[in-house]
A = this chain, B = another copy of it.
Amino acid sequence: MSTLTVPETIPSVPEDCEQLRKAFADRDPLLFWKKCDVDLKMILVVLWTLDPAERDALLANEATKRWTSSNQVLVEIACTRSSHDLLLVRQAYHARYKKSLEEDVAYHTTGDFCKLLVPLVSSYRYEGDEVNMTLAKSEAKILHEKISEKAFNHEDIIRILATRSKAQINATLNHYKNQFGNDINKDLKTDPKDEFLAILRATVKCLNRPEKYFEKVLRLAINKHGTDEGALTRVVATRAEVDMKFIKDEYHRRSSVPLDRAIVKDTNGDYEDMLLALIGHGDA
């Protein structure tokens, strides 16, 4: 599924990149970037070069330190990585920050966000395909009841989303749609400005259709006035070797424009070249 089918197309990495990477391993990288005035391309190269668990630990740490209720990076890391990969992130977090990921999330987030995010980042979901259809029906009913009552922060909603396997959640959400008529995310959009609802929808999407989640992050980042390079860089660096092919397909379908063309329109220079190389320009 790698989009990096032709390594030769990657722009040559400056000689100081290895030095940068080493410095990066010893310090707070974002501080380092700021101090060094490195460019967007360099950030992308460094993020992409890092071991995935290290990279996620770093992104998660940034998200906790600068946490806002609109920040969905923790959900993204907790719900789109495999159970084993999330565990590696937690181990990398120990090694780098001398504390646990859930410790920082619990300390820096508040209220309903905390109630949802702590179990999400602490989860070690079962990854088998087995589905309990009776349970799927009963939990679809619970979800529908609580959502109808607008009890969006109800412990059962959080329990189901934070602990059930992805296969089980998929079955539950299919039953929800069959039985009650709507995608659950439609019912979770009663107030488009409610940020807790937004993070619940992101959770559902990350668990169930990660490529749709990432497509939307890219679309919003590119369509934003001035482009959200942070989101664009993060998604390209973290998904390049995972599911970028699917994300590109989804993007093309949803925006009627191929992702590479949208990137060419919105970015430039070395940064543009590197983004195109990482998304596998031309092999869509």
Asked if residues A122 and B122 are in contact (CB atoms below 8 Å), the reply is yes
Interface residues on A, range: 20 to 34
Indicate if the CB atoms of B130 and A163 lie closer than 8 Å.
no
CB distance from A108 to the nearest CB of B (A): 11
Q: Report the separation of the CA atoms of residues A98 and B130 in the bound assembly, to the nearest whole angstrom.
A: 8
* A162 proximity list for chain B (CB < 8 A): 102, 106
Q: List chain B residues, Cβ under 8 A from A101.
A: 124
Instruction: Map CB proximity to B onto A52-88 as digits: 1 under 8 Å, 0 otherwise.
Output: 0000000000000000000000000000000000010
Tell whether A194 is near chain B: CB-to-CB under 8 Å. Answer: no
Decide: A165 and B99 in contact? CB cutoff 8 A.
Answer: yes
Q: State which residues 119-135 of A face B: CB under 8 Å.
A: 119, 122-128, 130
Say which residue of B100, B103, B122, B164 sits within 8 Å of A103 (CB atoms).
Answer: B164
Question: In the docked arrangement, what's the CA distance between A165 and B97, Å?
Answer: 13
Residue of B99, B100, B163 touching A100 (CB-CB under 8 A): B163
Q: What residue in chain B is nearest A114 (Cβ atoms)?
A: B155
Residues of A within 8 A of B (CB): 87, 90-91, 94, 98-103, 106-107, 114, 118-119, 122-128, 130, 155, 159, 162-165
23 A-B residue pairs with Cβ-Cβ distance under 8 Å, sorted by A, are A87-B87, A90-B124, A94-B127, A94-B128, A100-B124, A100-B126, A101-B124, A102-B119, A102-B122, A102-B162, A102-B163, A103-B125, A103-B164, A106-B119, A106-B159, A106-B162, A107-B159, A107-B163, A118-B159, A118-B163, A119-B119, A119-B122, A122-B122
